[in-house]
Amino acid sequence: MNRFEDPDYLEWAKQVKERDNYHCQLCSQGFQLHSHHLNGWNLFIDQRYDIDNGITLCRQCHDHFHLMFQKGGNTKYQFEQFRQIYKLFEKIIKKG
C-alpha cells in the first residue's frame, strides 16, 4: 500500500494541517496544502506518524523545498535552512 492510501498517514496529514490552522507555515496560503515530513518518511521510520515531525506547506513552497533538497532522505535541518532562505528572499522582495 502506498502511503497516500495508508489510514495512519492520512490521519497524520490531517492532524498536521489542523494544528497549523490549514495554512502554509511559510507563505500563509490556505489552499493546495501538503503535510511535509521534516525528517523524511524513508529514513526516519519511527517519526512517520509523529505530528511534531510534520509541517503544512502549500504546493508551491513544498515543490520549491524539494527542488532545492530533492526528495527522500530530507531532514529537519534542511527545512530550517530552506526557511531561512525563504525569509531572506521575502525581505528582499518586500524592499523592492
Over residues 10-55, the pLDDT tens digits come to 999 999 999 999 999 999 999 999 999 999 999 999 999 999 999 9
Name the 3-class secondary structure at 32: coil
Give phi and psi for 88, each to the nearest 5: -65, -50
Instruction: Give pLDDT, residue 42.
Output: 92
Residues of the chain above pLDDT 70, percent: 98
Give the CA angle between residues 71, 88, 73 to the nearest 5°.
15
Name the 3-class secondary structure at 41: coil
* Lookup: cell for 23: 495554512
Global confidence as pTM: 0.91
Range of the domain at 77: 3-95
Position 83: which residue type?
R
Structural domains in the chain (count): 1
- Outline where the chain has alpha helix (H): 7-19, 59-69, 76-95
Q: Is it the case that residue 2 has pLDDT exceeding 90? A: no
